[in-house]
Amino acid sequence: MMPASPPDWKKLGKVNALLQRVPDALRGAARTRKFEDGEILYRRGDKAADVICVLAGELLLTRASRAGTAVIVQRVRDGFIAEASLDSKSYHCDIAAGGDGELLAFPITAFLHALQNDMAFHSAWSRQLAREVRRLRAQCERLSLNSVAERICHFIEVEGEGGEVMLGQSRKSWAAELGISHEALYRALRRMQDDGVLVVDGARLRLPGNYILP
Partner DNA sequence: CGTACTTTTGAATCGCATCAAATCTGGTGG
Partner DNA sequence: CCACCAGATTTGATGCGATTCAAAAGTACG
Residues that bind DNA (CB under 7 A): 146-149, 170-173, 179-184, 186-190
Cβ of residue 55: shortest distance to DNA, in angstroms? 19
| Distance in Å, CB of 8 to its own copies, minimum | 27
How far apart are the C-alpha atoms of 150 and 167, rounded to whole Å? 17
158 near its own copies, rule: CB under 8 A: yes
Q: Distance of CA 38 to CAs 15, 47, 96, Å?
A: 23, 21, 6
Pairing of the two strands 204-206 and 199-201? antiparallel
User: Which amino acid would we find at residue 83?
Assistant: E
**Among 157, 167, 186, 189, which residue sits at the site for its own copies (rule: CB under 8 A)?**
157
For residue 37, which of 88, 102, 120, 91 has the smallest C-alpha distance?
102
**Nearest-approach distance from CB 157 to its own copies, in angstroms:** 5
Does 49 bind its own copies (CB under 8 A)? Our answer is no
**According to CB under 8 A, which residues from 108 to 137 bind its own copies?**
115-116, 119, 122-123, 125-127, 129-134, 136-137
Distance from chain centroid for Cα 180? 18
Element (H, E) at 95: strand 94-97
Contact of residue 72 among DNA, its own copies, none (CB under 5-8 Å per partner type): its own copies
56 vs 117: CA distance, rounded Å: 29
Site of interaction with its own copies (CB under 8 A)? 61, 63-68, 71-76, 82-84, 86-87, 115-116, 119, 122-123, 125-127, 129-134, 136-141, 143-144, 146, 153-154, 157-158, 163, 179, 207-211, 213
